[in-house]
Amino acid sequence: MSATTQQPDFAVLGGGLCGRLVAWRLAGAGHRVALYERGPADGSQAAAWVAAAMLAPLAEAAVAELLITELGVASLDTWPRILAELPEPVFFQRNGTLVVWHHADRTEAPLFERRVRANAPHALADEGFVALAGPQIDAAEPALAGRFARGWLLAGEGQLDNRQALRALAAALALRRVETHWNTAVDDAHLPEARVTIDCRGLGAKPVLPTLRGIRGEVARVHAPGIGLTRPVRLLHPRYPLYIAPKEHDVYVIGATEIEGEDMSPVSVRSALELLSAAFAVHPAFGEARILELNSQCRPTLPDHRPALVWDGARTLRVNGLYRHGYMIAPEVADETVRVAQALLDGRVADADAFGALRERSRWGEMLRLDDTRQPA
């Protein structure tokens, strides 16, 4: 859509996962929105392009705190409503996660369970954590019949197709007349004109969020006809959680490494070997799978590993730190962003006291932060 001369209400910087959702929500609320994305409309420059897009708040409770779990649980209920409003279909499933382990790694199992139960709300852990013996695994996931003696079904967890979601959101932005500027990198010295700026640039916001860092993740995408896994399978592993997420048409996303640093270079041989061996060990038919892609990207991460909405005290809100949980928590993060953004636009929040009051009232107030290193305009 071509640019118009009138100043928009909002400029959204970064059209990855968060930027697309926020821009779409704001436009749906009747605002004039412009979105600037350095990469093409398909989203291929975003961490969101590489992600497995598992929506697994209970499994992630092994490595995440209560805020993240609760954002994830609430977002799981919201995703279907979002997807129903998009103009293109997006694969979404809520069939649970199967957690298994090899005999050699069996000491990981009680550690995982203890961490999940310590971090997740008790009711969620009690109801969502279903212990399975071998025959029950075989019945739940016939493709794995006879392969694992014990496991857990984390009932109610889900996943979606990340690339379909990015594409459908781009189409939805056009329908809501968001002024989209693809292939347009925004430079902090020359910000686009708007009444309020929402910075969703992920790791690209590092110049203005110096504590932001990248955590490298590597994944393989393979085509493996005939295996027929029906839900994401997580394999407990002493170094990082490995998963196999079945998408449509026999495509599987196998991930993911978790390596400190902002190294965007191609996948290492070691990581490729580990990921593909893990899949092969879960089911030997992965030996005949065809490797479609090996991808690496960096997860945008703040020091406390929490998502944050950082207000600069003036006209800019930065939404960042979605780390390894972007898809899992994006609906709630986007809704909270819209609430704060509208309060900035209509002047309800113009000083630290008003921001503090908004924070107090919000269900997700823990995410709201004031960047007090900056001077109000």
Please state the closest distance from residue 180 (CB atom) to ligand FAD, in A.
Answer: 12
Q: Measured at CB, which residue is nearest to ligand FAD? A: 16
Please state the closest distance from residue 5 (CB atom) to ligand FAD, in A.
Answer: 21
Cβ nearer to ligand FAD, comparing 207 with 284: 207
- Residue labelled with tokens 């926020």: 22
Residue 83 as a binder of ligand FAD (CB under 6 A): the answer is no
- At position 76, the amino acid (one-letter code) is L
Q: Which of residues 90-149 bind ligand FAD (CB under 6 A)?
A: none
Please state the closest distance from residue 134 (CB atom) to ligand FAD, in A.
Answer: 27
Options 12, 17, 35, 212; binder of ligand FAD; rule CB under 6 A: 17
Contact 151, 99 (CB under 8 A): yes
Q: Kindly determine how many residues on this chain lie close enough to bind ligand FAD according to the rule CB under 6 A.
A: 42
Contact 267, 294 (CB under 8 A): yes
Pick the closest to residue 304 from 64, 57, 98, 31 (CA basis).
Answer: 64
Which pair of tokens denotes residue 240?
Answer: 């990082």
Options 185, 314, 357, 370; binder of ligand FAD; rule CB under 6 A: 185
Residue 52 as a binder of ligand FAD (CB under 6 A): the answer is yes
Contact 100, 116 (CB under 8 A): no
Contact 37, 18 (CB under 8 A): no
Q: In angstroms, what CA-CA distances link 29 with 23, 24, 26, 341, 366? A: 10, 9, 5, 12, 24
Options 156, 192, 204, 331; binder of ligand FAD; rule CB under 6 A: 204
Q: In angstroms, what is the C-alpha Rg of the chain?
A: 21
Residue 22 as a binder of ligand FAD (CB under 6 A): the answer is no
Options 26, 33, 35, 36; binder of ligand FAD; rule CB under 6 A: 36
Q: Which of residues 310-329 bind ligand FAD (CB under 6 A)?
A: 320, 322-328
Pick the closest to residue 218 from 158, 287, 289, 276 (CA basis).
Answer: 276
Contact 10, 31 (CB under 8 A): yes
Please state the closest distance from residue 104 (CB atom) to ligand FAD, in A.
Answer: 25
Q: Which residues bind ligand FAD (CB under 6 A)?
A: 13-19, 36-39, 43, 45-48, 50-54, 185-186, 200-202, 204, 217, 219, 255-256, 297, 299-300, 320, 322-328
